[in-house]
Amino acid sequence: MAKKILIVGLVLVIALGSWLAHYFSDKEVIKRQLAGLAVELGKEGQEPPIQMALKMGKVKNMLAKGCLVTIPERGYNEVLEQDLIVQYLIYHRNRFALLTVAFEDVIVDLPVKGQATVQSTVRLRRQYTGQTGPFEEKHPVTLALVKGDKNWLFHKVTLPEALVE
């Protein structure tokens, strides 16, 4: 009887350990961070300024001090500071009455310890102020992240032109 209890306990400990190792792996942490970013970028209806500031503060904490932004169709390639990126996001978010963001088909590659690249499709559902109904679109994005003190920080973003219009 004691052997059976020991075996069951050992199996449970191994299963729990495996699940924890998977849950806290860098790939899964990055996927959860992208899901969190999607929530912070989204908005439904009018948003009080303090709520927007809190959301953008969380986004700012996900960015490296300087983030290389590339828009291949425009030939745009520039390192932007956190504050400028946040201002840009605020400007574009304010144009919409509704904005939902989702990262789909996320592929995380960890070529070197402390660095990650992410290939994903961003699904946007947005409705301009005064527009009758929302429209949905999908676009590929490429992200590069570096491991910061506490979390992964975006240090390079490649966006299609349609996301910055």
Question: What burial class does residue 20 get, using C-beta atoms within 10 Å of its C-beta: 0-12 exposed, 13-18 middle, 19+ buried?
Answer: exposed
* Tokens 């020991």 found at: 6
Q: Give per-residue pLDDT as tens, 58-99.
A: 999 999 999 999 999 999 999 999 999 999 999 988 888 899
pLDDT band of 131, cuts 50, 70, 90: confident
pLDDT higher than 90, residue 2: no
Q: Count the domains in the chain.
A: 1
C-alpha pair distances (Å), 16 with each of 5, 19, 108: 16, 5, 24
Range of the domain at 34: 2-164
Pairwise CA distance, residues 46 & 62, whole Å? 24
pLDDT band of 145, cuts 50, 70, 90: very high
Domain of residue 140, CATH code? 3.10.450.50
Would you say 74 and 161 are in contact if contact means Cβ atoms under 8 Å apart? yes
